[in-house]
Amino acid sequence: MIAPPEDGRLRLTILGGYLGSGKTTWLRHQLYEGGFGKAHILINEAAETPVDDTLLASQSAGVTMLSGGCACCTGKDDLVNALKALCDAHSRQKPEDRKTAQIVLETSGLADPAAILDAIQQDSVLVHHIRVAEIIVLVDAMNAADQLRTEHLGRAQIEAADRIILTKVDAVPDAVLATVVATVRHLNPVARIEAAVKGEPFALPDLPAVPPYDLPRISDGGEPIQPTKIDIPDDVDWATFSIWLSALIYARGDDLVRVKGVFDTPAGPLLLQAVRKSVQPPELLPPEAAQRQNQIVFIGRGYKGDDLRRSLDYFTRG
Ligand SMILES: Nc1nc2c(ncn2[C@@H]2O[C@H](COP(=O)(O)OP(=O)(O)OP(=O)(O)O)[C@@H](O)[C@H]2O)c(=O)[nH]1
């Protein structure tokens, strides 16, 4: 998609990418560097998980959480209404502020950016007030092989992009990176391909010419990926909980695509997360996140939420 010239409409950037691909990390860095000016941020998380707004609030003009489901399907109306509200506010701004105003939509990891673009273009009000400037899609170089072989959505996201940013390139050897680049290029021959490490731009090295991953034919009709939120009891024994969580991720990491939780600790709210079997170092959050503590969200397929709850209960209570 080629962005039309400036025409007084409010500029929107759609930031997509599969679950855990690094969207919040990248956006945080861009906002810190002033990359999107003082943009208004719309966040649509797959599981009402509770942290991205606190991570992004301080560097933006404002943050709106869209928690009524994925913005490309069940949450489409919420997205359209939120965009209309922002258009209203934009039309009341002073002319000099209107020129620089913009929106960044961080989609849920389960959203197809093409469907979001379609929803905007199909709305007779939005199409006159919003200009979709760019669709940026982040691709996790560490997990791309698994995701692209098995997830139809991962491929659809890449196909929809104007710009693709490969993330976690610090964690993969050049041989893997070369195959990821070849695969992304095969899926979307026209998008610009860049790379980043924890949000910082990273110059791609000269990579050998290699064939793309062999991608089997898959349909998008498989078992849907679902979020399950579990409240962790305040009196949980943390050592036992950690063992349970590690064992669960080790045993079921291929089904649990994403795990994200915020826990109350004496040092403040602590964010714990994993992308498939890769558990990330814990991160202390700003104190505002404290109201959402002791909740963990699992996003995946092939298990029932109640089974997870029972397993945790059994393990931690003996
Ligand atoms: N090594 C490495 N880790 C990264 C990089 N970018 C992100 N991460 C880590 O990957 C994990 C997921 O990053 P997020 O930014 O939360 O990903 P997301 O796409 O916003 O996740 P969802 O909103 O749940 O889909 C975090 O633990 C990040 O620290 C990177 O370039 N290198």
Q: Is residue 206 part of a domain?
A: no
Q: Is residue 275 lining ligand 1, measured as CB closer than 6 Å?
A: yes
For residue range 29-45, list pLDDT tens digits in order: 999 898 898 799 999 98
Q: Is residue 197 lining ligand 1, measured as CB closer than 6 Å?
A: yes
Q: What is the 3-state secondary structure (H, E, C) of the chain?
A: CCCCCCCCCEEEEEEEECCCCCHHHHHHHHHHCCCCCCCEEEECCCCCCCCHHHHHHHHCCEEEECCCCCCCCCCHHHHHHHHHHHHHHHHCCCHHHHHHCEEEEECCCCCCHHHHHHHHHHCCCHHHHEEEEEEEEEEECCCHHHHHHHCHHHHHHHHCCCEEEEECHHHCCHHHHHHHHHHHHHHCCCCEEEEEECCEECCCCCCCCCCCCCCCCCCCCCCCCEEEEEECCCCCCHHHHHHHHHHHHHHHCCCEEEEEEEEEECCEEEEEEEECCEECCCEECCHHHHHHCCEEEEEECCCCHHHHHHHHHHHHHC
Ligand 1 centroid distance, CA of 73 (Å): 24
197 and 230 together in one domain = no
Tokens of 264: 């109350």
Q: Is residue 170 part of a domain?
A: yes
188 and 105 together in one domain = yes
CB 197 within 8 A of CB 228: no
22 and 165 together in one domain = yes
Residue 69 belongs to domain spanning: 10-201
pLDDT reading at 2 higher than 60: no
Ligand 1 centroid distance, CA of 273 (Å): 9
The number of distinct structural domains making up the chain is 2
137 and 180 together in one domain = yes
84 and 127 together in one domain = yes
Q: Is residue 50 lining ligand 1, measured as CB closer than 6 Å?
A: no
Ligand 1 centroid distance, CA of 280 (Å): 9
Q: What is the CATH number of the domain that holds 121?
A: 3.40.50.300
Q: Is residue 17 lining ligand 1, measured as CB closer than 6 Å?
A: yes
Q: Is residue 215 part of a domain?
A: no
Look at the pTM and tell me if it is higher than 0.90: no
Q: Is residue 221 part of a domain?
A: no
114 and 182 together in one domain = yes
197 and 275 together in one domain = no
Which residue among 24, 25, 166 has the greatest number of ligand 1 atoms within 8 angstroms of its CB, and so is best to mutate?
25
Q: Is residue 280 lining ligand 1, measured as CB closer than 6 Å?
A: yes
Q: Is residue 3 part of a domain?
A: no
Q: Is residue 211 part of a domain?
A: no
What distance, in Å, lies between the first and last C-alpha atoms of the chain? 56
Q: Is residue 227 lining ligand 1, measured as CB closer than 6 Å?
A: no
Average pLDDT over residues 280-293: 73
300 and 160 together in one domain = no
Ligand 1 centroid distance, CA of 109 (Å): 11
Q: How far is the C-alpha of 55 from the C-alpha of 1, rounded, in Å?
A: 30
41 and 74 together in one domain = yes
For residue range 169-221, list pLDDT tens digits in order: 999 999 999 999 999 999 999 899 999 999 999 999 999 999 999 998 887 66
66 and 190 together in one domain = yes
181 and 230 together in one domain = no
Q: What is the CATH number of the domain that holds 261?
A: 3.30.1220.10
Q: Which atom of ligand 1 is nearest to the CA of 197?
A: 31
Q: Is residue 163 part of a domain?
A: yes
- Looking up tokens 């924890």 gives 198
For residue range 71-95, list pLDDT tens digits in order: 878 888 999 999 999 999 988 888 8
Q: Is residue 23 part of a domain?
A: yes
68 and 186 together in one domain = yes
Q: Is residue 171 lining ligand 1, measured as CB closer than 6 Å?
A: yes
Q: Whose CA is nearest to atom 14 of ligand 1?
A: 22
